Amino acid sequence: MDLKQVAKDTAKVLASYLTYQSVRIVVAQLSETNPAQAIWLNDFSTKNKIQDGEAYIDELLRENQDLGFRIMTVREYLAHDVTEFLPEMVCTGIQQANMEHRRQHLERITQLNWSVSTSHPEASIDSEPNLDNLSS
């Protein structure tokens, strides 16, 4: 398991995701102050794939340098203010989600066993002693 490579790939995906969030923030701001430009940026962002944040910014700078610089500023700000909380949030989030999956799975297989044991009593695991035998 190449942890260093996983960390590098994850950081790249995260940077692209923060670029996407910055675009959403700027579109929301523009829709209040300059609706025409908000529509333009929205159109541009659906045409130019935002999955690769760097290629997106590069293309945007060629079309509209002011918006390009604005989104770059917002994503730098987001990187500072959001990422510091992520390690804790992601660790706790995954731990809790895992626990919930285990709980649900246990519930599911218990219910399955229960429904099997009630519909086909002969196939059930003996959970109660057979009292008939005792009385005979």
Residues interacting with a copy of itself, by CB under 8 A? Answer: 1, 3, 6-15, 17-18, 21, 25, 53-54, 57-58, 61-62, 65, 68-69, 72, 75-76, 78-87, 89-91, 93-95, 97-98, 101-102, 104-105, 108-109
Using the minimum distance from each CB to a copy of itself, give the nearer residue, 84 or 126. Answer: 84
Using the minimum distance from each CB to a copy of itself, give the nearer residue, 39 or 97. Answer: 97
Using the minimum distance from each CB to a copy of itself, give the nearer residue, 39 or 90. Answer: 90
CB 56 within 8 A of CB 19: yes
- List all residues 6 or more positions away from 118 whose beta carbon is below 8 Å from its beta carbon: 124
Using the minimum distance from each CB to a copy of itself, give the nearer residue, 29 or 34. Answer: 29
CA terminus-to-terminus distance, the chain: 62
- List all residues 6 or more positions away from 112 whose beta carbon is below 8 Å from its beta carbon: none
Residue 98 CA to its chain's centroid (Å): 14
